[in-house]
Every structure is written in C-alpha cells, then in structure tokens.
Amino acid sequence: MGDEIFFQAFTGRVTKGDRRKLEIIQAALRSISRRGIHGTTYDAIARELGIGRSQVAYHFPSFELIIETVMKYVTKTAQAITIERVGAASGPRERVAAYVHAAFEWAERFPDQANALVLFYHLCVHDPLYRALHAEMRRTGLERVTGMLAEANGLSPRSAQERGLLVQTLIFGALTTWLSIREPALTVTADSIVKLALER
C-alpha cells in the first residue's frame, strides 16, 4: 500500500528521484518510530539508506519538510484504509463502525506509522507549523465522521460534530494506550467506541 499512496502525489511517469524521495520518507518514518523525532536526523536517515547526507538534503532541503511529508504519507495511508472499509460497508451504522475499526486496522498493519503519529502530536504542542498541519489532518477526519454520524443516528450537525470529536479523541487515546502498553485488545476497544458512537 505504501508505494501507491506516495506516488499518488505525482502525475505522469514516476522518476528515479521520486523513488528516492519515497525511500527517504520510509527511512525517516522507521527512524522516527525507533529513535523518536529528536533522534531522527539527516545523518540517521542517510545511514539507514546507505547514502550521503547531501542526497537526503537535496530531496528535502529542510527537516520540517521531511516531517511534513512523513505525516502526510501516514495520513494518506490511514485515509486509504478508512475509505476502503467505509466504502465496503452496507449502511450508515456499518460505515461508522468501519470508520472506527479502520483506525485500529491501520495501527496494527503499520505500527511504525502509528508510533510516528503519536510522536508528531508532541511536536504540535510546541510548534505552530505542525499544529496547523495537525489541525488540517484532523479537520478532514472530523468532516468524514460527522457526516456518517449524522446519517447513522439522525443527529443535528452540531450534535454529530460533538460526537465526532469524542470519537476521534477516544480513538487517539486508545491508540496511544495500545502503543505504549500493548493492551487492551484493539478490537475490544474499537467495538466499545463504535457502541458509544452509535448510541441514540
């Protein structure tokens, strides 16, 4: 799933440079997951790929651009899983359940991405650039879940948005708990969030 997600950003033929950018982003993602954001440097990324630091800097002139691209890659991967699951759901209530379960499926399939996302939230506390990026990512998900909740539960737009914010917060909290202590089981947690989301 990773390559096609990344290359959706390019039109026409994918070049050797585009492939190198993907390699850099994937190496940065692994480094962030294993060493944290502050332990991830141009040198660490270059070492992981067996290339020179200058090649990393050529494709990504600022570290902020690396982080931004990694987070967009992570978000696009999670969104692709969500869209696939929601699209396969048979009705409004099933779409809400699919939305919730997709977040947990993504975390299980791509734990490095989930780790990186949780670490990214720490940056959002201190840096307005990352906070703005996070706000945009969250707004997209909130719009999606709000619409589904309004349809599934017959909620007013305001009530659906409030419930959507709650669902997002519960998903993030559950993922953070799971990533940090590896319990409780994600499917049990997802089912509990779905039940709360669908209460009338």
pLDDT digits (tens, 9 = 90+) for 147-191: 999 999 899 999 999 999 999 999 988 888 888 876 666 667 888
118 close to 175: Cβ distance less than 8 angstroms: yes
For residue 165 the two structure tokens come to 């914010």
Label residues 91-105 b or e (16+ Cβ within 10 Å = b). ebbbbbbbbbbbbbb
Across 126-173, where does the E strand assignment appear? none
Q: Can you say how many angstroms the Cα of residue 129 is from the centroid of all Cα atoms in its chain? A: 17
97-146: per-residue pLDDT in tens?
999 999 999 999 999 999 999 888 888 898 898 899 889 888 888 998 99
**Residues 200, 194: Cα–Cα separation, whole Å:** 12
Threshold 0.75, pTM exceeds: yes
Q: Give 3-state DSSP helix, strand, coil % of the chain, rounded to 5.
A: 80, 0, 20
Mean pLDDT of 73-84: 93
**Residues 113, 160: Cα–Cα separation, whole Å:** 28
* Residue predicted with more confidence, 5 or 100: 100
**Residues 63, 37: Cα–Cα separation, whole Å:** 10
Range of the structural domain that residue 116 is part of: 2-197
Domains in the chain, number: 1
Instruction: With a cut of 70, say whether residue 1 has pLDDT above it.
Output: no
Mean pLDDT of 38-64: 95
pLDDT at 185: 64
Report the CATH number at residue 180: 1.10.357.10
